């Protein structure tokens, strides 16, 4: 490349950068239009079910926000772009959102690669990326425009470890975990906490998300003779492991992370998940009014379907977004600053949620200690199984 080319290249790019910046600043302040949030998430592809669940949660929250008078009289709405949770698509969507002046904040993406690939774009453009399912420890380190209501595994896993070791009295544990960034991080926090509480880790086994057959893994588990199995799984693989564990004759106590909490876990696991212990942040029989209001509303809107944790995350995220926009208005930078100002937002997961400005996450995850009894999740009554 000749010198002239290079110089024009740099100059041209500067000019266009400035033009682009000026263009995206020009916010329209039409108050009859709804305030628009961008959502980047999977509607097709292998994670499509989560995008569908997000929509249900969002729509319920939006109905309630509108019924309560909207955001200072304006409607709140979202523009859901299908990324398939693929980083190539999430970066394109990010450019679409940052250059659309109507978008005041972004929610998503579902997985860490897709979210974190888009983070630099949001950070540079100064648009909040609100990743409510992103527990990757580095997600909020992407910059001060990255915020998350996803409970850091550093918070959640010690609670599960306490349930397993202190309350259930398990001393020798086998840990099965999804071998993804999430599963791996969770496993590390869990193992650390469990050891601190005095348990021994007999074996840890990581499996890939597409795996369906766990029999051989379970033989390894059996040979390490643990007195409890810990599942760091999603509900579909968690149910599979529980079933196959019972089929190959393992009778140990099973204790699972909150991510299995879903009516689907019971449906898919059948008899095999009876007596499985689950530490969860979301439990529908929780008498707290936030939870009961969410469930009643959800069942009414969706023909009696029971909501699950991902519905709740999305519902909470939309409510949090509304609270932030209420304070920050429609200016992108002011919205970023508003995250530090919102206090005690009513939340299904946290009760009330306030951000920790340092980590840009919500602190103080609660755990309900559940057990599956007669095919239903129930609060654990303290009796050993």
Q: How far apart are the first and last CA of the chain?
A: 73
Helix 235-247 to helix 215-223 angle, to the nearest 10 degrees? 60
128, 162, 229, 268: which one binds other proteins (CB under 8 A):
268
- Binding residues for other proteins, total number by CB under 8 A: 84
Of residues 175-194, those binding other proteins (CB under 8 A)? 176, 179-181, 183-185
Is position 167 an interface residue for other proteins (rule: CB under 8 A)? no
Residue 375 binding other proteins, by CB under 8 A: no
> Within 10 A of 96 (CB to CB), how many other CB atoms are there?
14
Q: Looking at beta carbons only, is 237 or 369 nearer to other proteins?
A: 237
For residues 197 and 122, give the distance between their C-alpha atoms in angstroms, rounded to a whole number.
41
CA atoms within 13 A on the CB side of 170: 27
Report whether 324 contacts 105 (CB < 8 A).
yes
In the complex, the smallest distance separating the C-beta of residue 13 from other proteins, rounded to whole angstroms, is 4
Handedness of CA 375, 50, 180, 317 (dihedral sign): negative
Structure tokens at 231: 């599942």
249 binds other proteins (CB under 8 A): yes
Based on the shown chain and the rule CB under 8 A, indicate whether residue 19 belongs to the binding site for other proteins. Answer: yes
Give Cβ neighbours of residue 13 (< 8 Å, ≥ 6 apart). Answer: none
Which residues ranging from 54 to 113 are in contact with other proteins (CB under 8 A)?
A: 80-82, 86-89, 91-96, 98-100, 111-113
Q: What share of the chain is helix, strand, coil (3-state, %, to 5)?
A: 50, 20, 35
- Which residues are CB-neighbours of 132 under 8 A, at least 6 positions away? 107, 108, 148, 149, 150, 313, 314, 316, 317, 320
Task: Tell me how far, at minimum, the Cβ of 353 lies from other proteins, in Å.
Answer: 25
Residue of 33, 169, 196, 216 interacting with other proteins (CB under 8 A): 216
Given the complex with other proteins, which of 299 and 341 has the nearer CB atom? 299
- Please state the closest distance from residue 262 (CB atom) to other proteins, in A: 9
Interacting span for other proteins (CB under 8 A) from 102-110, 202-210, 345-353, 359-367: 202-210
Binding of residue 27 to other proteins (CB under 8 A): no
Return the residue of 12, 169, 289, 364 that touches other proteins, per CB under 8 A.
12
Q: Which two tokens stand for residue 117?
A: 């690939």
- Which of 35, 71, 239, 371 lies at the binding interface for other proteins (CB under 8 A)? 239
**Piece of the chain touching other proteins by CB under 8 A; list 26-34, 199-207, 294-302, 351-359:** 199-207
For residue 224, state whether it binds other proteins (rule: CB under 8 A): no
Minimum distance of other proteins from residue 57's CB (angstroms): 14
Q: How many CA atoms lie within 13 A of 2 on its CB side?
A: 3
Q: Select from 106, 109, 156, 205 the one that contacts other proteins (CB under 8 A).
A: 205
Strand, helix or coil for residue 378: strand
Q: Which is nearer to other proteins, 36 or 162 (CB)?
A: 36
Q: Are 83 and 114 in contact (CB under 8 A)?
A: yes
For the CB of residue 117, give the shortest distance to other proteins in the complex, in Å.
Answer: 4
Q: Which helix (H) or strand (E) holds 107?
A: strand 103-108
């Amino acid at each position: 490349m000749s010198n002239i080319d290079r110089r024009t290249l740099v100059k041209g790019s500067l000019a266009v950068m400035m033009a682009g910046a000026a263009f995206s600043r020009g916010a329209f302040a039409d108050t009859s239009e709804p305030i628009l949030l961008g959502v980047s998430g999977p509607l097709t592809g292998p994670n499509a079910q989560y995008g569908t669940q997000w929509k249900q949660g969002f729509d319920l929250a939006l109905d309630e926000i509108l019924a309560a008078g909207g955001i200072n009289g304006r409607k709140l709405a979202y523009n859901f772009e299908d990324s398939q949770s693929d980083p190539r698509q999430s970066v394109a969507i990010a450019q679409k959102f940052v250059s659309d002046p109507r978008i005041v904040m972004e929610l998503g993406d579902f997985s860490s690669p897709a979210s974190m690939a888009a983070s630099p774009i949001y950070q540079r453009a100064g648009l909040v990326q609100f990743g409510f399912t992103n527990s990757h420890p580095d997600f909020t380190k992407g910059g001060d425009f990255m915020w998350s209501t996803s409970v850091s595994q550093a918070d959640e896993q010690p609670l599960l470890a306490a349930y397993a070791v202190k309350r259930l009295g398990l001393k020798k544990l086998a840990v099965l975990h999804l071998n993804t960034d999430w599963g791996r991080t969770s496993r590390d926090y869990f193992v650390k906490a469990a050891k601190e509480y005095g348990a021994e880790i007999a074996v840890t086994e990581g499996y890939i998300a597409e795996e369906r057959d766990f029999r051989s893994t379970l033989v390894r588990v059996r040979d390490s003779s643990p007195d409890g199995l810990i599942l760091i799984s999603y509900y579909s693989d968690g149910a599979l492991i529980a079933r196959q564990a019972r089929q190959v004759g393992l009778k140990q106590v099973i204790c699972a992370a909150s991510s299995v909490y879903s009516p689907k876990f019971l449906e898919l696991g059948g008899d095999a998940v009876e007596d499985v212990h689950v530490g969860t942040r979301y439990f529908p029989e929780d008498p707290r009014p936030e939870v009961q209001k969410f469930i009643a509303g959800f069942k009414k809107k969706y023909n009696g379907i029971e909501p699950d944790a991902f519905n709740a995350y999305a519902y909470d995220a939309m409510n949090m977004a509304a609270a932030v926009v209420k304070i920050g208005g429609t200016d992108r930078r002011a919205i970023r600053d508003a995250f530090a100002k919102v206090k005690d937002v009513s939340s299904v997961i946290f009760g009330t949620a306030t951000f920790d400005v340092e980590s840009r996450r919500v602190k103080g995850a609660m755990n309900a200690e559940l057990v599956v009894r007669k095919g239903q999740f129930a609060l654990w009554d303290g009796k050993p199984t």
